[in-house]
Structure 1
Amino acid sequence: MSTSTTLYGHLHAWAAQSPDRRLIVEPVGDEHRTVTAAQLLDTATGFAALLREQGVGEGDCVAVWLPSWSDSYAWQFAASAVGAHVIGVNTRYNITEVGHVLHKARPKALVMAHAFQRIDFLTTLHGAITEARSRAGDGFTPPFVIATAAPGAEQDYDAADYDQGAGSCRSTDVPAGASAVDFRLQGDPRTLSVAFTTSGSTGLPKLAAHDEFAVVHHSEQVAARIGFGPADLMVEPLPYSGVFGYVAGMAALFGGAAVLLQAVFNETRLLHAWHEFGGTHFVGADDMLSRLRAAWEAEQLDLDSWRWTGIADFQGMSKEIAAWSAREFGTATGGVYGSSEIFALTSFWTQERPEELRWSGGGTLTSPEYTFRIVDPATEAEVPAGERGEIQFRGPNVVSAYLGDAGEGAKAFTADGWFRSGDLGEAIDDRSYLYVCRIGDVLRLKGFLVDPAEIEMHLAGHPDVEIAKVVGRTAGSGEPEAVAFVSLADTGTATPDDLREYCRASLARYKVPAEVRIIEDMPTVAGTNGAKIRAVTLREWAARPAAEAPGTGTAGVSAPR
């Protein structure tokens, strides 16, 4: 059996080479603290000793239900030290979602936050244990619970309160005398390392797990392609439990850089930390950057250290944000692509690409070991160059296993072993592709496949429009048609009829929305990678008369003509 350096082995090497190297900068109260390589190794080693004391070892799962603290990183390296894998649990998850993770992943240990943001984690845990037991029956064993206070906070709680039947302790209750040489510096590269919950508008998520070779390889490839250096600082307010926050942070560490964490997104506080510590890189969604831009416009702090942004276009604001950051700070911005099942930053665009590609999703594959193809979603036959179809992937970045898989994982793969992304795309060249939209979002209007984003971007070009989102519905004739939901800018006065005329002036007739509804706020869902507009909710509203749908009224509607 071949062996390779483990994640824990890499941390050990960083600490041996440069013990004072800055790895993490994180808030502690109203201040910030720096965590060095030696300090993170010491913390991870203590956590590994605690896991081993509880019998956690090869093949076991450790659920980490924490905000983005340095301890979240330490638990990943600690799990690697004993051959276990981590499943990140979002702090926003409710009883059903946490129960689902416990049922599917069957963690032997659960690391959870104590007294964070007034969230009642303990009540949620009690309910989640009941939920998991109801799903699994008598075969369910609750995890050993390790309670963790915020960085720098007092450890003034009773660990026994967290016992769910298998025991509990505080994260500081580590055995004495543990040494790094006692743990797994080398190991089987195919050992599972980390799992992420998949996102979706319906149903409960799958738990997509990746092996240790994939994590190390991807982190190294992303770091090399971004071009991190020892003085760089990745500004990463996205949760470490999600694939974008995880990959951005790990790539920075593997590239010799450090990570600036923020457990709760606060644009003003992040702006000040970014300015103080000289943030150089950012990976995140356009909604976060829009809020950061508003904070910067109010305070005008120097962000000239900001060199590069990997942006996810969730609300159609990437182009204007890229223009703003380039104008003010000389920042280069590229659209990114990825998912829980193939890793974030599996591809992204670089500056030599034309502007019409640069801020869209997709990009050039990060590693030479990754490949893609574009196929007809119905037949899975490859389509000619320039045609759109489903993007499918092969390579070490593709999910290794689904935790608790009951057979549903096989549906994600073709008979010849390609991973089905469920995304519509178009090949640009042999190594690059354009992401268009989710296949479920594409509209077939008058026989043509139409990306709703094309209509959305046109509407967003109207000076009165802040955000536009287009969904499909079935007309009375049985044919599909487009419905546009629009939120106006503060000074906007455009009517639905105005906006339909605006579309009619430039778009093909079949692309003009059958109806425009003006709403005050878009329905959104907070995910691990940022807030996304809930298209499923808008489809429900579109299917109902405007007077009966939340958020709209007859004054905000134009009838089809």
Structure 2
Amino acid sequence: MEIDAGGGPVPPRDLPDLLGRLVRQDPDAVVALDKGPDGATVPVSRTELERRVAALTGELRKAGVGPGDCVAVWLPNWSDALVWQFAAAAVSAHVVGINTRYNVTEVAHVLARARPELVALAHDFHGLDLLRRLREAVDQASSPAPAVVLVPGPGRERPAAEEIAASDVGRGAWTPDPDAAPGDPAVPDPQALAVAFTTSGSTGMPKLAAHRAAGVLSHAVADAAALGIAPGEHVLCALPLSGTFGHTLAMAALAAGGVCVLEPVFDADAVLDDMAVHSVTHVACGDDLMARLAEAWRARPRDLSSWRWWGAADFQGRARELAQWAAEAFGTTTCGVYGSSELFALTAAWPPDEPAPGRWAGGGRLVSRAIEVRVVDPATGKVLPHGQEGELQFRGPNVVDSYLGDAEAAGRAFTGDGWFRSGDLGRLTADDAFVYVVRMGDALRLRGFLVDPAEIEQRLAEHPDVRTAKVVGVPGPDGATAAVGFVVAVDGQEPDPAELRRWCARTLAGFKVPAAVQVIGAMPTTNGPNGVKIRADVLREWAVRSMDQSESRPSRQ
């Protein structure tokens, strides 16, 4: 942190200024550790990152990308994703991350809502044909085709001219030149949108929650302090940078002067090796990923004595068990955290001196005094006192500024007096601290991603042989939440459950495809004050019974 004439800290004025300060403090310090195609570590210095950002900034200006424009970043956890974030912010544009698992329909939805000028596309990554998916998505999307920028990734050769030409989906294609001239410097607008994250909406397709650059920057600085990341410490970046959890942690590491240990593919053994070799101090992830790390460590222990802090999201109810394991094995302090695409991840975290096991619960103390939280009765809107459960609502610089392609969504998301409706149930323990209880809706946590079951239900119902569909979540054989679909067939039809799963896989990401589908004669229902409703509790019982019986192909109930 730079100091003013009075001896006080001067916060960075914008994202490029944050990077510039890191370079001025120690130009040769490592800022990120990439993975080459052979798995070897590729260190990235602060100076190199700044040079690549300057070069890409010049190329974006040359391509006509400027204030208010959107850039889609379809990359794994490479330092290139950081380069694109900083370069877009430098020209007052914003990025929207696309998960490498996304399928055609999901990508088409992002293209239609965000209307990006170009798509930064991972070239030859992990055997994924992202270009094919993009072509099909462009055909589906009701928006102009974007330019394509092929990004080779760390330690890889630039694509050949014919590969670049073949990547054109209607608006040209090129590949970044790390030696491109930076062009004339410009002062970015900190009030311009900088990043948007996909999040499940009531329609079953993702909303795109966008945040201003000033919010990204202030939240990164606040998280760096709240998490206690020291300069030079290594932070594990295993969650996708395209999502708010991974993005927020990486930005906090940069704001602290730390090192991002980037994992483009989650392989538990490789991640543990990196944690040991690079003396990782901070990890933030759900208990689903941590359970995989614990299992791999028990099979082959490593020295993880440097691991000081785990920011835990209790997606599967295993945080307590894993927190005890980490504490006993390495002396690691586990702190429950809270956040969302609309609020940034790590909006709150319990301090390390908070007693366990309360410290392991979701929620925590707000990371910034600029953020406010209250709890209200969801039926009446009455503000509730400490200790009473209600909807968590927030105000502050971390709160979503707009939804790309959906001007009316913000109106639905905010109260009349300007508080964001989180849709989460919780209770205050202090004016700036709260306990998260549960999601008020029926969202499913699949492979660490929050998924609206309506999205899967919508796809099942699109099958010509299906009349009605309902999806519930139950514990699968590995303890993770599994989506189980129930469908009522069109009269006279008998759809094959395996075919229905294949039907879903054609347009949905793999983690959204139901683990099982059952064809039933009729949905169990109940007559409520608002009409007839399907009894999800009964379907969950049926799904659990089916899982317990380990039926490979569920039969008709």
Q: What range is the shorter-chain TM-score in?
A: 0.7 to 0.9
- Residue 360 (structure 1) shift: 1.1
Q: Distance in 2 between matches of 1:90 and 1:295?
A: 25
Gapped regions of structure 1 (runs ≥ 5): 134-139, 443-451, 454-470, 472-482, 491-524, 556-561
1:162-561 to structure 2, matched below 5 A, reads 162-172=167-177, 176-178=180-182, 182-184=184-186, 186-199=187-200, 203-441=204-442, 485=474, 542-543=538-539, 546=542, 551=547, 553=549
Q: Distance in 2 between matches of 1:87 and 1:221?
A: 23
Segment drifting more, 402-411 vs 211-220: 402-411
Q: State yes or no: 1:22 paired with 2:25.
A: no
| Cα 1:167/1:417, change in 2 over 3 Å | same
Q: Distance in 2 between matches of 1:427 and 1:548?
A: 34
Instruction: Check whether the contact 2:376–2:392 (CA below 8 A) recurs between aligned residues.
Output: yes
| Cα 1:62/1:354, change in 2 over 3 Å | same
Between the aligned residues of both structures, percent identity stands at 44
- Residue 128 (structure 1) shift: 0.7
- The CA RMSD measured in Å over matched residues stands at 3.1
Q: Distance in 2 between matches of 1:271 and 1:420?
A: 38
Q: Distance in 2 between matches of 1:87 and 1:104?
A: 10
User: SS where residue 206 of structure 2 aligns?
Assistant: coil
Q: What does the per-residue CA deviation read over 1:391-440, in whole Å, with 9 as the maximum and x for residues that have no partner?
A: 00001110011111241221000111110000000111111110000112
1:506 aligned residue: none
Q: Distance in 2 between matches of 1:215 and 1:141?
A: 28
| Cα 1:42/1:544, change in 2 over 3 Å | closer
Instruction: Check whether the contact 2:56–2:182 (CA below 8 A) recurs between aligned residues.
Output: no
| Cα 1:282/1:237, change in 2 over 3 Å | same
- Residue 553 (structure 1) shift: 4.3
Instruction: Check whether the contact 1:286–1:317 (CA below 8 A) recurs between aligned residues.
Output: yes
2:529 aligned residue: none
Segment drifting more, 539-548 vs 213-222: 539-548
1:464 aligned residue: none
- Residue 160 (structure 1) shift: 1.0
Q: Distance in 2 between matches of 1:20 and 1:436?
A: 45
Q: What does the per-residue CA deviation read over 1:19-47, in whole Å, with 9 as the maximum and x for residues that have no partner?
A: 11111012112310110100001111111
2:166 aligned residue: 161
The count of aligned residue pairs is 470
1:78 aligned residue: 87
Q: What residue identity is the alignment partner of 1:177?
A: A
Gapped regions of structure 2 (runs ≥ 5): 1-10, 446-452, 454-471, 480-504, 519-534, 552-557
- Residue 143 (structure 1) shift: 1.2
Instruction: Check whether the contact 1:546–1:554 (CA below 8 A) recurs between aligned residues.
Output: no
Q: What does the per-residue CA deviation read over 1:202-222, in whole Å, with 9 as the maximum and x for residues that have no partner?
A: 611111111011011000001
- Residue 94 (structure 1) shift: 0.8
1:26-175 to structure 2, matched below 5 A, reads 26-28=34-36, 29-133=38-142, 140-157=143-160, 158-172=163-177
| Cα 1:37/1:554, change in 2 over 3 Å | closer
Q: State yes or no: 1:6 paired with 2:14.
A: yes
Q: Distance in 2 between matches of 1:386 and 1:537?
A: 41
Instruction: Check whether the contact 2:231–2:256 (CA below 8 A) recurs between aligned residues.
Output: yes
- Residue 150 (structure 1) shift: 2.6
| Cα 1:13/1:489, change in 2 over 3 Å | closer
TM-score, length basis structure 2: 0.79
Q: Distance in 1 between matches of 2:254 and 2:413?
A: 31
